[in-house]
Structure 1
Amino acid sequence: MFKKKPEIKNLAPLRSSDRRKLADQIIRDYQVPIPEPSADDASSNTQLTLASLRNSLVPESTSSARFTTLLGPNLSLVSGTIYVGAHPDQEERILWFQSGKNPKLIPTVYTLWHTPGIVPLLHTPDFVVEEKLRHGSDLMIPGLVKAQTAKWDPRATVGAVVAVAGMRKDTVPLWVGSCQVDVCNLGDVRGQKGVAVKPLHWAGDECWSWRELGSGGQDPPESLQGWIGLTTNLTAGVDLLSLEEGQEANSGAPMDTEDSKETGLVDEEEEEREPSTKEVDEAFLQAFLYAIHKAKSEKAGPQFGLDFPVQPSSLISNMIQPYLRSQNQHHYVIKKTSWKNAKKFIKHLDKAGLVKSKDRNGGETVILSIDFDNEQVTRFRPYNLPPPKTTGTEGANKGENAGEHASSSSDPSVGQKLTIQTVYRPAPKLVPALLPSKTEFYSAQQVSSALKSYIEQHEDLGVQGGSTVKLDPFLANSILGSNPNYDDSQFLAAGRISRSALQKRILNDNRLCQPYYIISRSRAASQQKPQAGPPPRIQVTIEKRTGTKVVTKVSNLDPFFIDPQLLAPELQKKCAGSASVGQVKGAKPGLMEVVVQGDQRKVLVGDILAKRGIDVKWVDVIDKSKPKKK
């Protein structure tokens, strides 16, 4: 539902009566039981328990607002209402939403974390949550997991709202969807096909990260009381699942069990425990020391082959990630450290005497130099690096749908070779004297050849000095002097014009030749249809946000066969900063842009876009971060 950033109108506080009605509607729709009062209570206590339930579902000072967003492959416009509130000691979040004509309110994960048990809780392997569901994919029937001795929740029927959790944090809902089948009647899911649950909302979408001021979502808790998990011993009580050969990539995954490990479909990283923050910190420091050690041992010179200043994105992608003891990208990331971001990590290295850093305009911190003789560097001893691991799902997904949003390796735009050709459709006044058809498209070279043939067929035009052509009635009336936007008086007065100027005059005048463009790529199965207008250009804009924060926006990607939803995760990893996809402000619905933290123009143009076949001359870079000169 909220894969695309919604347009949210102004919030309006709910009246107390409307809030009570809303809470009562939720209690009816989800059959939420009212807490039992104490044994020696009075009727007033019953009212208190009902009031507390209402407050837990719809907190006081809840506000509402209308929203619109784009949904589905056709980017259909969907509207609805969001309800924003704050639980005790929590920030203001979207707690409920309603879309279309369906009056039923859908809870977000924030509501589920505070009101356990109001919807059925289903389970699926963790990598299905991370690599499929949190990218907006459906949950397929073979991806469902339950303990052997357990039964499916009887409330999980067609149309019911359900929550989905992974296997590690089996009591923490991370995904909300709508049942497409009677899950309660499925029994054994092995060998079954089809969609079990369609997504409505998940931790990580644009609803989860929304705040009236700023952005970013709240990290899920480690565990919650009140939700029923799988079992305390998962490997003993979980049904064994397996993917049928050739099955869709988003249709679930094999279970993390001994049997599935024998098949080679389960990554050993799934068995690793989650490291502590201190362990992740130490891994990052050791990786940095390893990078320095390797530079000193392989390169010569005062800087040992390192280019300074070192950008935060280059530090993480080139000096940290390749040298981590573990390649588990779910656990060993900068957000799991005590520093939380690359800027604070650089500051720590500076304080430790390993580097010299500097804050640049825009709030970015870079490394100016490294102390290669620091005691920590000289005492470092390298360790064995694990080979990069390929998860079972990545292996199973080879050859699958190229549009899958699971990883950048499935991005069909990577490695493409693009060509842009400008063609022209002639106006009727040029047909058939110069060009044979007004419905065909001609290249500039074909127009030049046609002009040459016309001059050769009319010997009276003559060529003076081998460069100019005498004007006849067709050239003078149909081409020159017909457009008031062009000053042709000097040519008409002289009665002559150079061939090159005449050709340029024809191609530049939209009344004579309407320009079209064709963008084709090596993987295209057929010729692309010409599109009216000049060739498009990718827009890269660097601008300031709140305070000194700088962001980079890249838009107009679709004409070049680049999916913003696939580009954003790669940018986030490459630039070591958050990246999001949203509607281009002021543009037609469906035109999306990617926004990434920091000034990332070099990474974008020189690396990310280059490997997608984008020539630098097709990119416009606009820097709005610098103050305007007076």
Structure 2
Amino acid sequence: MFARAFRVRANTAIKGSDRRKLRNDVAAAFPNFSAEQLAEFIPYKQELNVIKIYCHRGEAVTVYMNQKNPILFEVEKALYPTVYSLWAYPDLLPAFSTWPPVLQKLAGGADLMLPGVVVPSSGFPQVEQGTLCAVTLLGNRAPVAVAVATMSTAQMLAAGMKGKGFAVLHTYLDHLWEYGDKSYPPTLAPLVPDCAGDEEEQEGKEPVSSFPPDPVQHVDMGDLSLKEQDSCAELLGKEESHENRAAEPAENASPEDQQQPEDSRTPQEQMDALFNQCFFHALKCKVKKSDLPLLTSTFLRSHMFSCCPAGQQLDIKKSSYKKFSKFLQSMQNQKILQVKELNKGVESIVEVDWKHPDIKAFVVPEEFSSASAAQDSKNEDGEQVYHAPEIIPLYGVSTQMVPLFQESGHGKGSVLSSNEVRDIIINYVKTNELVDESNKNLVKVNAILCDCLLEKSEQDEISHLTWDDLLSRCLERLQPFHQVTFVGQEPVVRKGYIAHIDITIAQRSSNKKVTIIKNLEPYGLDPQCVANTLQQKAQASATLNPVPGRKDRVQVQIQGNQIHHLAKILLEEYQLPRKYIRGLEKAPKLGRKK
């Protein structure tokens, strides 16, 4: 359903009455939710957004957002959880496992066929036709897809595990996942072994993470065997050969390397250390100041679990604390954070000392990608750090300008920088000896320059052009492009000029004024974050509305003329160049009112 890009029609904050109705609908759709989990999933005070979208096939879908991540989508009055929700509640739906290479096919829009389903030793969960299910990958309990069973468990077995088993609605790596924070699935150990086999051999083995640091996995599907009798043996054979290859360097290692002592800590001490590592990693890279107050259960499931290294699993019962509340109490005693009971039986983290020496001294493990570290970077107050993008104007060779650029090897559609265009023009003039001998500042206009740069009315009148006029005419007749580069990301080249951030003042009823801000998205700015920041500084209400004629963008509207506050945010805090902002001159003149 979300294999291709969708179109956003509206993005609004949910009302109190709609929030209560949504909570009741979720409780009815997913009876496995406890009261505490339901209060965590649909919070009472935390802001939720409702987004109306149209998929590429025309389906109208309602998406519910919480903390910038889609948590639910609704199609024809039926609610479905997203993979972000299932990572926090992995046992919410009955789960069926498949092979890691199949994920790319599912993300591309394919349904899950029964030959690709792994048969566990404990048997399949019992489901009926039309049951909502989760799809996991072998070795990891974190769901990667949401699907509807096309037949019951009994029918699957009666069919000899042939045919289509599940109609896939949403997957990790699809466009709905991309609409969130693009985080990776956590590593959750299976409750039971996925493959039938010798239980003694499987006992004590660490779970293998199915997810590489790079979410895009290029796998040759020709090497994949989905036959149920051979699949487990094939996978175990690959794992054994991988383990043998990994063991080869150890045999050839120096005696000093081989004599390195093993971890002498007890399993309980190791689990305590793992909890400490994930705790500080989550505070340093995952939690923002604006997230507070944060439910302790949400902090554990949504933040600490995602910081757990591959092949390891957090289990509070194996630690010396035994209860997560006691672990947080220990951290509170060290004055790292403060926990309060905001509702009866529900504890929340209400304050974090971001300048605490232990938080500042923590170093993120190397196994977590640098791109994620750049994305999750924060300042001392725990706020997300915004880095203004680098914007470079580019120029594309149009059909009219091809004769002028073909000598340098550039055809129609070639994209060049202004310096490259300048060098090409200078070389063309010098190669064709077009510099005027009597005046070096003038360039003789030959037939190609005449056709490319002169209007019809000028062709009989102009025989020479100055260097400045020659270059400016050339740039005017090339197609505009621009390149945007964000920190830690690859440059993106787009057609046309980059849209300016547009600030206007509009008149409303009772002679009230509102400030409207458009085109924040091209600069990597989240309109909701800008609205929240502006609302705090101006002490005025702010809303998000769809931009007329632009289904993929929203505009921020705030009461009053707030251009002074907006200028400080955009120019000083976000450090955006003034030339990309229009409307700052409409700021009210201070000091006139007495």
TM-score (norm 1): 0.41
Q: Relative to total residues, which structure has the larger helix share, 1 or 2? A: 2
Which one has the largest radius of gyration?
Answer: 1
TM-score (norm 2): 0.43
